[in-house]
A and B are shown apart, each in its own frame.
Chain A
Amino acid sequence: MRIRWTKTLLLLAPATALAAILFVYPVFGVLTLTVHDGTSFTAEPVRQIYASQLAIIVLQRTFVTAATVTLICLVMGYPMAYFMAGLTPRRRVMATYLILLPFWISILIRTYTWIILLGREGILNKTLSSLGLTGEPIQLLYTPVAVHVGMVQILLPIVVLTCLTSILDVERDLVKAARSLGATPRQAFWKVVFPLSVSGAATGGIICFILCLGFYVTPTLLGGRTSILIANLIDLQVHKTLKWDLAAVMASALLLATFACLLIYWGLTRKRSEFATGGLAR
């Protein structure tokens, strides 16, 4: 037992040390900045952010954007995952590769391509005007729409794959059982597959939401002045205005929100593992 412990500790030591030096310590530093100005404790940065309309608006916008993007990803991703779950294993692997393909392309390039597609002289506007549907080009780029589109494209694969796993986790025999007991395919889906996979899909949604909160590149490149998110504002405070204490307060708010999401995530996964024992022990 004792040897096992020493071994475990040794194996975990490098990663723990790295995390402590590079992660825990700086995060602790950021957290300190929010309430300590170097000489004494102060509530000033928190008060300033609380009073700043800009910070509040951007914080709100970040959460609304994250929620909207997550919702769009779930509404698009779950049906796609359900379709994939019905494929033969061979084809499902192929489909998974296709879904993962964008991951091998830099997030910067993927974002820039939207500029080509959505710009004033972009493919979309040219097509619309050549069809005579629009006179003036529509302003798409540098709007919240462009930010949403860009973020959905980047996060959709993650949501599809988490939904797929949770749908595949539903034992096939359960659907057969439901059908034999008189359920139509539609009823079998709504009464069995959906309730059993929805918590898995929700965990995918939470991962997506957490990632949204910290998005930086996409809103910078595709969003205009009116669609910056919290990460952009933090960057502004750190690099341009040099108000590190204000940046720290906003970063801490982000951290807090992420932790809250993680708590919900743990709650959901606990519930899922309880269900998993409902069938045969696997």
Chain B
Amino acid sequence: MSSTGATIDFRNVRKSYGNFVALENFSMHVGRGEFMTLLGASGSGKTTALNALAGFTDIDSGEIMIDGVSITSLPTEKRGIGMVFQSYSLFPHRNVIRNVSFPLEMRGVPRAEARRRSEKALAMVRMDALADRMPHELSGGQRQRVAFARAVVFEPRVLLMDEPLGALDLKLRETLQLEIKEYQRQIGCTVIYVTHDQGEALTLSDRLAVMDKGRVLQVGPPEELYDRPRSRFVAQFVGANNLLMVQRAHDGAMALEGLGRIQGDVAHLAEAEFVSIRPELIRVSHSGGGTHPARLKETVFFGNSVRYVLLTDADKEISAIEPRRPGQEVRPAGARVGFDLDTTDLVALTA
């Protein structure tokens, strides 16, 4: 089972429901075989984008293209897109194998061949032993594997996944994330994956698009979005972050909210109104010292790491994460500490 992924293009797509604008000037290009994730809170427009691509929602204006051909006026069944839903959506009156063979049946594939291809798809997701079970006899993870097999058995060039792991528990979610990634690599189809879970987005995607209020705020590979967020929203939505307002003194020197004047290279922050810095880039010095004095407000023990919530003398909360060696002492809340940061680690943000 393999297919050459198709390219997908959204061009200035707009969709509104009454006064609510679900998508505004939405443009995006997804390359062949790329794993693209739409990341956003509910109501951000990510599901609307997916429904528009699948043909479940009509768009007000703009164009959607697969491999350069406009599909805007094609009905869903002619678009040849595989889709996996959060609710699994297995047909409850059909057993596993007849669920998987459904798309082949719709395409008039002869019975014997449909059976053979369905068995192959089930073997890929390791569900071939349960081919005769009914959906209600399967666990959530098993159901989603069957739904995945059903969505790819007809070798679609585009696969859409709408929060497919949202109904599963954490442990299973992590296992299935790796499986999905592996299957996609085997098949080679282009995937658009919708989720509100930033961890999932970072793990799975080749590129991800952070969405808010019907717009794309930033698109890029996971490392780029993590290392160089451009806006406050992205900085806070992708991973944990410290956000600091920039204040400028009359003499042109730069100060940060709660931290005061900062020394070092600040050329890249010239235009910034806000800066962010990741908790793991904050160096806590437990033995006194450190440029910025602070008090330990809270200590959270994670096993392999410790998270400190520091309160600067100007009452600004700074969060820091430190790897921890076995036996290393964890400082209690209330202790006086200091911390340092490299100004080159500060990321300039617009509004």
Contacts and interface: CB of A to CB of B under 8 A. Distances in A.
Asked if chains A and B come from one complex, the reply is yes
Interface of A: 171, 173-174, 176-184, 187, 191-192, 195-196, 274-280
B230 to A, nearest CB: 34
Contacts of B167: 280
A29 B169 CA distance: 59
B193 to A, nearest CB: 15
A177 B83 contact: yes
A173 B89 CA distance: 6
Contact of A280 (B88, B107, B151): B88
A195 B102 CA distance: 14
Nearest to A177: B89
B106 interface: yes
A245 to B, nearest CB: 49
18 contacts: A171-B89, A173-B87, A174-B89, A176-B85, A177-B85, A177-B91, A179-B55, A179-B75, A179-B76, A180-B54, A180-B76, A180-B77, A180-B151, A192-B91, A196-B92, A278-B92, A278-B136, A280-B88
Contact of B85 (A173, A192, A195, A277): A173
A278 B133 CA distance: 12
B154 interface: yes
Nearest to A180: B83
A20 B134 CA distance: 43
Contact of A184 (B77, B89, B91, B103): B77
A274 B136 contact: yes
Contact of A196 (B87, B89, B93, B106): B93
Contact of A179 (B77, B90, B91, B151): B77
**By DSSP majority rule, is chain B's interface helix, strand, loop, or mixed?**
loop
A263 B164 CA distance: 40
Contacts, number: 83
B196 interface: no
A176 B56 contact: yes
Contact of B77 (A183, A195, A274, A275): A183
Interface string B49-87: 000001110000000000000000001110111110101
B135 interface: yes
A195 B94 CA distance: 10
Contact of B102 (A176, A181, A184): A181
Interface string B6-49: 00000000000000000000000000000000000000000000
Contacts of B76: 176, 179-180
Nearest to A176: B56
A280 B86 CA distance: 9
B102 A278 contact: no
B91 A174 contact: yes
A275 B93 CA distance: 7
Contacts of A183: 77, 102, 106
Given A173-B85, A177-B83, A279 B92 contact: yes
A183 B56 CA distance: 13
Given A171-B87, A173-B85, A182 B154 contact: yes
B294 to A, nearest CB: 47
Contacts of A177: 83, 85, 89, 91
Nearest to B162: A173
B21 to A, nearest CB: 20
A178 B102 contact: yes
A99 to B, nearest CB: 28
Nearest to B106: A182
A176 B93 CA distance: 16
B87 A280 contact: yes
B82 A180 contact: yes
A90 to B, nearest CB: 13
A277 B136 contact: yes
A184 to B, nearest CB: 6
